[in-house]
Structure 1
Amino acid sequence: MGFLAFLTCGSCSSRRKRGHEHFPDTITLPTASSTQPHRPTGARAYAPHPTASHGTTGSAAAAATSGGDPRSRGSTVDGSHARPSSGPHRLPSRELHAAEQEGRASSSSQLPPPKYVATGQLSGGGSGHSSGNNRDADITDKSRQVANRVLEQFQADPTLGRRRIPYASLYFTRVLSKGAFGEVWLAQLENQQVAVKRILNEKKNDVREIECFGAEIKLMASFSHPKIVEFVGISWSSMQDVCAVTEYMSKGDLYGFLKRRQGQLNWRDHRIYLAEDVADALGYLHGLSPKVIHRDLKSKNILLDDSFRAKLSDFGISRERSVEDTMTAGVGTIYWTAPEVLMGKKYTEKADIFSFGIVMSELDMHVVPYSDKRDSAGKKLQGMKIVQMVIRRNLRPTFSPECPPLVKELVDRCLDADPDVRPSAVELLRIIQRMQSHL
């Protein structure tokens, strides 16, 4: 499959290849007649994607993924259960913390109160013009069957069964992010804040979306690592309101953080530790059996906790890979995607290492990859041209003159067109840790 096929691939993960969108000024949510607090269905909060040419699905302005109702998609929770940060604590400073607090307060104060509308159960028709459409009815019946099957799997899974959270115990505060297929809400669960991820109401009849969300929840529930956003639990009263609950990452996503901190970070005291956190998370995923390939690693899917340490999130298109598997389906956001994936070739976990190299360019430049690239006429390169040039091996992200040679040398290996030349995640982590005392 060529790179054009990659861009139009219809796999269950292709819906997330686009970036993140801003959520609207007014949000239509479940319910008005109810006297209980508003409760959405499940989605995760993410900040808008860096590039205007991409949609809105990634990781996080403040927590998890996006969607369209009070119960939002899983994100991160900043609560008493949060795991402690590992490694040296160099990122936060009194000024940095104050600035972040001020930024969060000003942005949240501009959010209008959400509008609530009643949510119904999965059903066919209901919109007048489509009530007589047999095809729509067939799709609804199919989605209901799939939803019931997914819920049966949840109920039969002992791990998820132990982590089921009563739907009534979630109190939704505000939308953290919203995308084309889901949304993430900030919610209160007893004495802690959590991020809640759910499917948008208008996508509840999308069979592929239901299956993918179910797979994502089961995958998140299987992880246990301090550099992976913590899965708190799952909640539902029906598939209509199923949602994933995760820890809330109060400092938002790495993309937004870098954008706000232009000129205020350096490799020795800040960036190298963020890189270490991400490499640590990849080492965990790639070390599982079977291995898990994230497939959508970018700054939008890296969230920051109160200590400004990073955790990996958004496993909506992640895949487990056995030794026999050969992956060829195109996934991920193209500017972060490895050449072999763009070309539709077989790929391994080394595709994540290439994406890591692109994230390193974001850490260094604080801008979207390739945003400074121009053609011979001086015009800014567009998406398709960038993809073609990446495949031909003659285009890679720009790094600043101040980028340490050791960092640039490592990044060059990560961005090599030959996956075998790229370091493993374990080697990557080891190199970064050794590098810390030489910057």
Structure 2
Amino acid sequence: MASSHQASGIHAARLSAAEIADNFGDLHAPFDAHEATVAADRCYFCFDAPCMTACPTSIDIPQFIREIQGGHAESAAKTILNQNILGGMCARVCPTETLCEEVCVREVAEGKPVEIGRLQRYATDLLMEQDVHPFTRAASTGKKIAVVGAGPAGLAAAHRLAMKGHDVVVYEAKSKAGGLNEFGIAAYKSTNDFAAREVDWLLQIGGISIEYDKGFGKGLTLEGLKADHDAVFLSIGLAGVNALRTEGEDKEGVRDAVSFIEDLRQADDLTELSVGRNVVVIGGGMTAVDAAVQSKLLGAENVTIAYRRDRGAMGASRFEQDLAASKGVKLMFNVMPKAIHGNGASAEIELEYTEVVDGRVKGTGETTRLAADQVFKAIGQTLEGAPQGIDVTGGKIAVSETGRTSVAGVWAGGDCTSGGEDLTVTAVAEGRDAAEDIHTSLMG
């Protein structure tokens, strides 16, 4: 395997440890106290704040910025965390440029929004560094709730339920908690093991235990969970990966972007992680950008994102697109994979130019070829392992506004559900709201 990797141009240690460390430093440097005060001073503290409406977790943004302005960063953090217990991670990974900051009055008037994300990080980091949990548990209710999946939705639900006095058991199929925050987000967005530290901090509420290497197909059944618990919350994410359905997809050097990002996030030494000389990423979302940029940061010479529609249709925000371009990633639009060529291992990818007719992508017959010793598939994930008996719609678990599934006593939230948007902040909101509904349901 290693020898053919070497021959095909995929190998480790393309850059020195010092270069790698520099490349994978924090994407946005954190504010110091003075910078935070200056940034907070730009806020107009709008009465009917559009930023608050745009936030999926409805954080009172003018309130927390006013608290920072007044020198009360810990109070600001509590305002944030009361609505979004993963406010620290969301401050790092939220696409604020298409949510709160996009509708900021300063952005609309001047083209430069209040830096809400960085202010949120400033406040939450200060509070978490004190290692004091700002929430206390209510008196025990005697109720026991199962949460399946320790990603953002599951953790948010578990924390809110524990706060209400319930006992929560989280079952996680992997050997670590955090879900996509731990395994699926670019390393330069979440440095210094922040995802793991945030989980440890969240668990300080008490009343939550996590059992690892357990999931559906790994010892759990819905019937068993229902029998042993007063309620069940499913946050199983999207474990499947869409296939390219392209000739040559089985060649060495072709893999899904999600597993590449996971390997990168869990690697102890990034100089040991193999990457190609010529990398092509198929897709147009955040995962495609994260895979492409990190390939470049690992030392790939040529990295191209190939997307089947035009720039405006890309799932990744313009900020993410510009970030990729700034790192030397080439973006190609209106192309789709036709074949992957090479003798056993990928050497070239053949792309067909596309046009959109009545909303559908069609090939034009005109093709081009790119050198590609490594091809990453980032064309979406699929639901796998949903328990039998649960209604699924559009490939996701069907839920009500409060996360109720078709099975009594079972709720769901996050990417696995029909309302999921593949955003940490949306998953947190869904987990929190389902927890409130579970509490109301159990306590009458």
Q: With CA pairs under 8 Å and 6+ residues apart, which has the higher RCO, 1 or 2?
A: 1
**Same-fold call, TM cutoff 0.5:** no
Q: Which has a greater percent of strand?
A: 2
TM-score by length of 2: 0.24
User: Which of the two has higher C-alpha Rg?
Assistant: 2
TM-score by length of 1: 0.24
